Structure 1
Amino acid sequence: MSSAVQTSRTTKIKHQKLTCTIGAELFDVDLGDVARDDALFAELHSLLLQHKVLFLRDQDISRAEHVALARRFGSLEDHPVAGSDPDNPGLVRIYKDLDSPAEHYENAFHCDATWRENPPMGCVLRSVEGPEVGGDTIWVNMAEAYAKLPGHIKSQIEGLRARHSIEASFGAALPMEQRHELKERFPDAEHPVVRTHPETGEKILFVNAFATHFVNYHTPENVRFGSDYAPGASNLLNYLISQAAVPEYQVRWRWTKNSVAIWDNRSTQHYAVQDYWPAVRKMERAGIIGDRPF
């Protein structure tokens, strides 16, 4: 596909690829209409699977329309730390200002909520207010990250599983009692290091900032002596997590008011750049409940 705005054989929605590996911008479509139209939604869903993150500008939709669009993908989830809009359950308000709690960090490459047994399938995020410049978000194609791994690394991580923790991430900034209570509510989840996309069949590198350690690395094949365990496992995990920082796998989006990003949380990671202080950045996100990774 060329860089020109095109309509593909499978969709009537005009779109333009933003990089060679991830992301497309959509044109001349209103997400309120998509929320109400089965055919339009089917086209949007197909484009999402193809490009992994979709972008639109000038989407002056209501919160109810925002939630209705996200619910076309599935049921919505709440966030145990950020909370939801009281009138629109499942719509999380991510408002950054001078009084923002420190635990609401976003500037790390991550998939949303992999500390859940069933992490989100995807998200719909809209910019309500933002700085004149700064506050971009980066998305990463983690299927491409897996595909480009060296063969010996693919062999080494086949069958490995990793632990993902809310206590060690959002909980780290809380007092000890609250941190322990958070872990009681959301025990660490265990996921495959390489997951299979349930709709496309792609293999995806599935470790991120929420991953703390491998749970089945300490085997005779990987460890000669007990002293090998910690450095061998941590070095490999850090190497895998670092793949999200490769520019060739990324797309970077500059937000404007009422711009929207829709992403597949199963096959991507993202990073919200916090370079805009003391400006205000207000975003609203609807996260869609997903399946258990396999």
Structure 2
Amino acid sequence: MPEIVPCKGPLGARIEGLERCRAGEPEMAALLNRALAEHLLVVVPGERMAPADTLAFARAFGTPRTQLLRYKRNGDVPEVSIMVSTLMADGSTDKTAIRAEDWHTDDSYFAVPAKATLLHGIEIPSRGGSTWFCNMHSAYDALPEAMRRRIDGMRAIHGYDTPRARNRPSARTAQEIAETPDVEHPLVRTHPETGRKALYLNPNRLDRIVGLERAESDALLDALTDEARRPEHHFGHVWQAGDIVIWDNRATMHRVVIDYPEGEPRVMQRVLIEGEKPV
């Protein structure tokens, strides 16, 4: 059986000795999903894979779904997105790469966000470009009891683009705009598998707290985000070509460090796994 090796940090584990072609077997899939729920972040080292093989591996975690932006979808395997974050001197870098530098969780602008995200490293720069992850259970637990009582039961508005985001997102087509009205989610989310509570934040998509004036809402969101930015909640993954990294969007945020050399390709395959409505 593969070995689950916890990472040295507040979240994350490596799966050693896994034959990726066996990930879909019931026993292996159960092991992988237990590791994801417990550690929130799973790293599976190995060789580069074709999009169809990446999709087959991702099915061990649930049902893959296509992402919103059509231009990122792989033509032959649309459930796999091709994420290019190469830094170009002419400024043509994909806006997604720049926005990814701030902490965020994937798909919170949908009423039913993705359970998990799988990222597979295809082309990796010679240095830099680590992806950092934040344990949002840990961030919630670190709050003073009075703050936890205050925010339990609060709800917040998420949108594709909000005034609080530091950078603007990629443009949407008319169809994509119609598919992404603003949505409302709990500010504190309960993990459906473990029952643990987590802050559900997304500085790129979170607009305001329902029922509060803008100034009070901004101050509270800033205070909660400040806690999540504390390094004791974080773990950084240094990429090797061929790595597969899966994280639980229900209890994590993540960001990329844009410190890699200009012009060196940084290309990933990404698969989103269907989730459930946050509660």
| TM-score of the superposed pair, with normalisation by structure 2 | 0.89
Which residue number corresponds to residue 261 of structure 1? 245
Which residue number corresponds to residue 128 of structure 2? 134
1:293 aligns with 2:278: yes
CA distance in 1, matches of 2:169, 2:15: 38
The 5-angstrom pairing of residues 119-158 of structure 1 reads 119-158=113-152
- Percent identity of paired positions between Structure 1 and Structure 2: 28
Structure 1 residues 148, 170: CA separation in 2 closer, same or farther (over 3 Å shift)?
closer
Which residue number corresponds to residue 102 of structure 1? 95
Alpha-carbon offset, residue 275 of structure 1: 1.1
Alpha-carbon offset, residue 288 of structure 1: 0.6
Alpha-carbon offset, residue 195 of structure 1: 0.8
Alpha-carbon offset, residue 130 of structure 1: 1.0
Give SS of 2:168's match.
helix
1:31 aligns with 2:46: no
RMSD across aligned positions (CA): 2.1
1:17 aligns with 2:6: yes
Tell me, which stretches of 5 or more residues in structure 1 are unaligned?
1-11, 218-228
**Alpha-carbon contact 2:3-2:17 (below 8 Å) kept:** yes
Q: Which amino acid aligns with 1:39?
A: E
Which residue number corresponds to residue 220 of structure 1? none
Give SS of 2:235's match.
strand
**Alpha-carbon contact 2:23-2:60 (below 8 Å) kept:** no
Q: Match for 1:252 among 228, 236, 241?
A: 236
Range that drifts further, 253-262 or 179-188: 179-188
1:187-214 Cα distance to aligned partner (Å, 9 max, x none): 0111000011111111010012111111
Which residue number corresponds to residue 60 of structure 2? 72
**Alpha-carbon contact 1:167-1:183 (below 8 Å) kept:** no
CA distance in 2, matches of 1:67, 1:180: 28
Range that drifts further, 257-266 or 243-252: 243-252
The 5-angstrom pairing of residues 163-242 of structure 1 reads 163-168=157-162, 172-173=168-169, 182-209=176-203, 210-217=205-212, 229-242=213-226
CA distance in 2, matches of 1:89, 1:183: 19
Alpha-carbon offset, residue 231 of structure 1: 2.3
4+ runs of 1 displaced by more than 6 Å? none
Structure 1 residues 92, 133: CA separation in 2 closer, same or farther (over 3 Å shift)?
same
Q: Which amino acid aligns with 1:86?
A: G
Tell me, which stretches of 5 or more residues in structure 2 are unaligned?
none
Q: Which has the larger radius of gyration?
A: 1
Alpha-carbon offset, residue 274 of structure 1: 1.2
Structure 1 residues 17, 215: CA separation in 2 closer, same or farther (over 3 Å shift)?
same
Alpha-carbon offset, residue 73 of structure 1: 2.5
Structure 1 residues 256, 45: CA separation in 2 closer, same or farther (over 3 Å shift)?
same
Residue-pair matches, total = 269
Alpha-carbon offset, residue 290 of structure 1: 0.7
CA distance in 1, matches of 2:161, 2:202: 15
CA distance in 2, matches of 1:230, 1:216: 9
Which residue number corresponds to residue 55 of structure 1? 43
